[in-house]
Amino acid sequence: MARLIDSGPGCPTPTPLRAANAAEARGLEYTEEVKAATDELYPLVEDFITPMEWPAVAPLVHEINRLKHEKNAVVLAHNYMTPDIFRLVGDFRGDSLQLAREAAETGAGTIVQAGVHFMAETSKILAPEKTVLIPDLEAGCSLAASITGEDVRLIKQRYPDYPVVTYVNTTADVKAECHITCTSSNASQVVEHVAREWDSDTVILVPDQYLAKNVAAQTDIRILTWPGACEVHELFNAEDVAALREAHPGVMILAHPECPPDVLEAADFAGSTSALAGYVGDNHPSKVVLLTECSMSDNVAAENPDVDFVRPCNLCPHMKRITLENIHDSLVEMKHEVTIEEDVRIRAKQAIDAMLALPKLEKPAAFETGLEPLDIELVETA
Site residues, ligand SF4 (CB under 6 A) = 116, 141-143, 169, 230-232, 293, 316, 318-319
347 Cα distance to chain centroid: 23
The smaller minimum CB distance to ligand SF4, of residues 89 and 229, is found at 229
The smaller minimum CB distance to ligand SF4, of residues 169 and 185, is found at 169
Whole-number CA gyration radius for the chain: 21
CA dihedral 213, 224, 352, 345 (to 10 degrees): 130
Q: How far is the CB of 293 from ligand SF4 (least distance, A)?
A: 5
Q: How many helices (H) and strands (E) does the chain have?
A: 16, 13
The smaller minimum CB distance to ligand SF4, of residues 59 and 228, is found at 228
The smaller minimum CB distance to ligand SF4, of residues 154 and 235, is found at 235
Q: Is 116 exposed, middle or buried (0-12, 13-18, 19+ CB in 10 A)?
A: buried
Residue whose C-alpha is closest to residue 207's, from 146, 292, 120, 151: 146
**Helix H segments across the chain?**
16-25, 32-38, 54-70, 83-88, 96-105, 117-126, 149-158, 172-177, 187-197, 209-216, 238-247, 261-266, 273-283, 294-303, 324-333, 342-356
Q: Residue 45 and residue 168: Cα distance in Å, rounded?
A: 30
The smaller minimum CB distance to ligand SF4, of residues 130 and 318, is found at 318
Q: Residue 69 and residue 148: Cα distance in Å, rounded?
A: 38
The smaller minimum CB distance to ligand SF4, of residues 240 and 308, is found at 240
Q: Residue 200 and residue 194: Cα distance in Å, rounded?
A: 8
Q: How far is the CB of 232 from ligand SF4 (least distance, A)?
A: 4
Q: How far is the CB of 141 from ligand SF4 (least distance, A)?
A: 3
The smaller minimum CB distance to ligand SF4, of residues 62 and 318, is found at 318
Beta bridge partners of 367: 270
The smaller minimum CB distance to ligand SF4, of residues 143 and 301, is found at 143
Q: How far is the CB of 13 from ligand SF4 (least distance, A)?
A: 19
The smaller minimum CB distance to ligand SF4, of residues 75 and 259, is found at 259
Q: How far is the CB of 169 from ligand SF4 (least distance, A)?
A: 5
**Which residue type does 136 have?**
D
Assign 3-class secondary structure to 108-125: CCEEEEECCHHHHHHHHH
Q: How far is the CB of 233 from ligand SF4 (least distance, A)?
A: 6
Of how many residues is the chain composed? Answer: 382
The smaller minimum CB distance to ligand SF4, of residues 125 and 168, is found at 168
Task: Give the number of other Cβ atoms within 10 Å of residue 380's Cβ.
Answer: 10
Beta bridge partners of 73: 110
CA-CA distances (angstroms) from residue 372 to 85, 184, 236? 39, 19, 17
**Which residue type does 362 have?**
E
Q: How far is the CB of 228 from ligand SF4 (least distance, A)?
A: 9
